[in-house]
Structure 1
Amino acid sequence: MAGWLDITGVGGPATVQDAGRPGQMHHGVPPGGAWVPELLALANRAVGNPWGAAALETFGKLELRGRGRRTHVSVDGRTFSVADGEVFTVPAPESASVRYVAVDGGLAVPEVLGGRGTLMVARLGGHEGRLLRPGDVLPLGEGGGTTETLELGDALDVTAPIRVMLGPDLERFGAATRASLLADTFTVSPASDRVGMRLRGTALAHGDEGAGTSRPMVRGAIQVTLSGEPIVLGPDHPTTGGYPLIATVIHADWGRLCARRPGTPVRFVAVSMEGAREAWRQHLERFRPTM
């Protein structure tokens, strides 16, 4: 039975997001995907959806109405049922930076380039490629999947160090700067967004005046600007860039970093390629067991 989700109130930036659209970088389209993939998986599996189904990603309070059928809803894994025509409120995120609202069957917005998520820098995907606002109506898919309870454990521990692989541009940074990356504590800047998380703290001097060759970028790469400010590239990052890269956050720690609210401390620790691969293997087993 068809159904809809009405957006009746928005208290902060909110979009439709999913697992992303990998494989489009050669077209200039970043992979996108959830800001905190673990919370997306938690919400979706609780209502029987594939982990990466389209859901709401919100940085503030939401007011919603289910319409057309009884709808099963999950807010970060906490489930409840909404009757046809019932209005309900999703509180603003509390412990994490963001919150995910999934409904059984997922949000059936059109698929664009292999994904349903919103890419605002290109105005595509989601609902008209933009932030949601009151009056928007989102279609729902058919539910009926098998529900599953995932456990976060320490996956989003905001006190844990963030694991990185050093490089590839270490030769552009002096020994003292390389040491500062791993020894000093940074904090999340309020200026962060889905393009990149800006970090406040020790300036990472490098003397590079922007003469580097532009090359492909990846999510988690830590660019260092001319001022020495580190920026960890997010899901909507530019597909190319020329700032030197001092390190890259490993795939398994994307969510652990992005779950941190502005002002939260961030420390880095270096790991090997083997360590990064093993962390990702364990992460897949934990959060994507149906893949």
Structure 2
Amino acid sequence: MTDNQNPHFIECSEHYENTSTFVSRVDIFRFRKAPGHYLDWLKEQSPFEKADKILDLGCGPALLWKKFPDLLKQNHQLFLTDRSSNMLFHARNHTGELKAERFFLRNAMEQLCFKDQQFDAVLAHMLLYHATDIDQTLREITRVLKPHAWLSTTTFASHSEDIIWKTVHAIEPEIPPYSEILSPFSAENAPSQLKRHFSSLKTTNYQTGFSCPYPEIWADFICSFPNVELRQLKSGFRQKLIHKLEKLIDQHGTLPYQTEMVHYLCQQPRTRILHEAAL
């Protein structure tokens, strides 16, 4: 395995066959302190009106399109891809109100099954840190983009997860922090990787804390992460976690957790020749 390959890929691929764990993670945003949901913020970051043919990589259950069915018009074509057939099943159900023509494909992001320069836009939201090879994936994305197309991608700042993993490690030290899964493509290193493949990069941030006084909901949220959910946890882990969370909530009124997402609007994809010349 080379340095830019992700050792956590197999775990995460298995994890996302279970749609309910993903939904548990998103559900916490109903307790957000920020006035807008992250999906509202995400919708505003990209010029969808300028993209007739869109590729949504790692579409999951298609929550963006479910929330905003009027975002695309009849002239749009939307290609939704995911490794998980279960995610695609839910994506199909969640996009029934879309006016755009829809296509659903199981496809690995590291080797896309499309011809060169096919798309006006590619979406890769909360995804690229799961790639087996980030550089290869970005090369594939730029390959299928038209010359004046754009990529919309998001990730997290790894430090924003610290309070969760301090709590988890106090119970089960063998569980690795989520920062290890984020490490291939986190807010700390994503810009340098994206600039190798795009000439223009615009960055925006979304931050929020959460007002959730329910330790059971926090436990569901924490146990939905792949580095927790996929391990054979010791007997009583969840109950011990709830006990720890109760103490923190008694002290702070909620878990003092703040997430930070970063969005990158990447334009002017470098051609393969220019990319190779820059190496």
Give the shorter-chain TM-score range.
under 0.3
**Structure 1 or 2: more helix by fraction:** 2
**Structure 1 or 2: more strand by fraction:** 1
What is the TM-score of this pair, normalised by structure 2? 0.25
